[in-house]
Structures are given as C-alpha cells and as structure tokens.
C-alpha cells in the first residue's frame, strides 16, 4: 500500500446551520475540521488507505482539535507543525444553493519546506497538492514548489487541484501561471468546470480540456456537479455519471472526489483499464459528502459508497 501525502491548510470550518442564509444573516455556527488537503487525506484513510498531512495549525485549542481529528481519522501527522494561530473559514449555504464564505488566515501560510521529513516518502507514493491557500504569497507557497521538485526528482505520482477561491486570490494572472506550472508536471489534475475555463481562457470545455492535456497534464478530471465528471487522457474522454442526492452542504465534495480517486490508485495501483470505474467510485464519494454538514465529518464510509454503487466490489 502506497501513502498519499497531502500538503496545505488544515483549518476550522465554522459552518452556518441556518437554512438558506448568508454570512450577514447567519447566527448559528458549528465547528468542523476542514481544509482541502486535509479533507483528501481523511478520505484516503477513512476508506482504508494510508495518508499523511503536511501543514501547520495553531498552538491553540483549535489546532489541538484539528490534530486530534486527523489522528482519529487515521491520517499521519508526523509532518504537522503546531505554531501560531489556527486558520478559520466561515461557510454558509445561501438561498440559491451557493456557498458564502470568508477566511481568517492564521499560521498555515508559515509552513516551511524545512519542516518536512523527506524520509517519510517512498517509491510509489502519491503527493497531492490541493490547498486553497498555498498559491498565496508565503512560506507555504515556497514549500509547495520545493516539494514538487522533490516529487518529480524521485519519480513520485503528482496530483494537483488548484481549489480556486475568488475571495482569496488577489493576483489572478500569478495564480493562473502557478497553476499551469503544476498542471504541466501533474500525473492527475482535478478541476471544476469554472477552473477549466479560467485557467485556459477558453469558453468551449472540449477546447479547454485539449489545451490542458497539451500543457502536460496526464489525466484530467473536471467535476460537472449533478452532471457527473468529465475524465480525459490523450486516449480517453468520457463523462461519468454520479448519483442523485439531497444536497445540504457541498463543502469538501471536490476533495472527497480526489481522495477517493487517490485511495484507489494508492491501494489498487495505476490501471488504465480501471479508469472509468475509479472515477465512478470517486463521483459517488463526492456526492455523498454533500448529504451532511462540514467536510471531514461528512465523508461517507467505503461501505456506504459501495452500497450506492449497487454493491460493486472495491
């Protein structure tokens, strides 16, 4: 079994439980563990794989809560640093179903490459770059790029999800260039439909996919919401359907998709003949995550995913 190493932010999601409310009018907030790379790591472990988290939380009660959450979910925390203040995100679901959120950034951006014990990485491991905050200026961004160099040098599998958040990105062109740098080096890229158009500047999705493949991505998954996921390689292009659900909170759904897919790769190995089956498994995992509040707490068990797939074997 290979390990999935996820670098980036681990934070507190303060989730508004007032129905159809924005952050201006919301009053009831519940503390949940979140952060895109942490969500991915939790899915891998919760489904029976091996994962580790690389990042920084505060040396405060919230940081201790987050560390314990990872431990409780089987995620390795050897490369977790506790220093400074914990990052917060406030999230609500508005009347139109879209998320309203804002960040209060703590010390996650201070995570340094020198904090990483590189002996934890072994041949066949996967490195996932999926942080919403890592491409903002700071020490974490330096660590992100240095770890990419290390992963490519050692022949590790590279996964990338830009996790674009317009509320965070102040220099869009720099964000696009940094994202395209990772896409060119990645073995697997997960994008939303919005991100595919944003990063390529192309309105036609097929043209955007072709552009991303030409840029160097080996496998591209573009999540299309209720329509499923478009998966593309140089030889294959298909849309894989998901399952119908009653969504209450889409926070972490994309991360759950990525985590489920990387779980399959880390435990079953890379097999092009299994690609569509792997994406179907990831689709269902992401969809079921939307049926509960929060990110890590909402991750479905593997048994629940298999039941939704009609009992198909893992």
Q: What Cα–Cα distance (Å) separates residue 291 from each residue in 4, 122, 247, 249?
A: 25, 36, 5, 7
* 151/172 Cα distance (integer angstroms): 26
For the question of residue 255 being annotated catalytic, the response is yes
Identify whether the C-beta of residue 91 lies closer than 8 Å to the C-beta of residue 14: yes
Residues 104 and 264 sit within 8 Å (Cβ to Cβ): no
Spacing of C-alpha 273 from chain mean position: 24
C-alpha–C-alpha distance, residues 302 and 306, integer Å:
6
Q: What H or E segment, with its residue span, contains residue 127?
A: strand 126-129
* From 13, 108, 161, 255, the catalytic residue: 255
3-state helix, strand, coil in the chain (%, to 5): 40, 20, 35
Please classify residue 235 by burial: count the beta carbons closer than 10 Å to its beta carbon, then call 0-12 exposed, 13-18 middle and 19+ buried: exposed
What distance, in Å, lies between the first and last C-alpha atoms of the chain?
Answer: 15
The residues annotated with a catalytic role in the active site are 255
């Amino acid at each position: 079994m290979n390990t999935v190493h996820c670098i980036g932010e681990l934070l507190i999601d303060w989730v508004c439980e007032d129905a159809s409310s924005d952050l201006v009018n919301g009053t009831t907030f519940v503390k949940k563990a979140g952060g895109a790379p942490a969500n991915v790591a939790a899915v891998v472990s919760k489904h029976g794989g091996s994962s580790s988290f690389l990042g920084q939380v505060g040396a405060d009660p919230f940081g201790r809560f987050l560390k314990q959450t990872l431990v409780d979910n089987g995620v390795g925390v050897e490369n977790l640093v506790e220093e400074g203040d914990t990052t917060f995100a406030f999230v609500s679901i508005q009347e139109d179903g879209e998320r309203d959120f804002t960040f209060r950034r703590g010390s996650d951006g201070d995570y340094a490459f020198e904090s990483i014990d590189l002996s934890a990485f072994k041949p066949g491991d996967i490195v996932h770059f999926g942080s919403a905050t890592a491409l903002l200026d700071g020490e974490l961004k330096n660590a992100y790029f240095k770890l990419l160099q290390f992963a490519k040098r050692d022949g590790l599998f590279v996964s990338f999800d830009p996790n674009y958040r317009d509320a965070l990105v102040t220099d869009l062109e720099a964000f696009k260039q940094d994202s395209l740098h990772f896409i060119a080096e990645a073995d697997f890229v997960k994008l939303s439909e919005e991100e595919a158009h944003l990063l390529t500047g192309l309105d036609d999705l097929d043209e955007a996919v072709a552009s991303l493949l030409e840029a160097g991505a080996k496998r591209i998954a573009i999540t299309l919401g209720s329509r499923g996921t478009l998966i593309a390689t140089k030889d294959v292009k298909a849309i894989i359907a998901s399952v119908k659900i009653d969504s209450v909170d889409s926070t972490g759904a994309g991360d759950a998709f990525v985590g489920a897919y990387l779980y399959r790769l880390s435990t079953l190995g890379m097999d092009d003949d299994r690609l569509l089956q792997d994406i179907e498994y990831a689709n269902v995992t992401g969809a079921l995550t939307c049926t509960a509040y929060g990110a890590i707490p909402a991750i479905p068990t593997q048994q629940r995913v298999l039941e939704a797939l009609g009992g198909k074997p893992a």
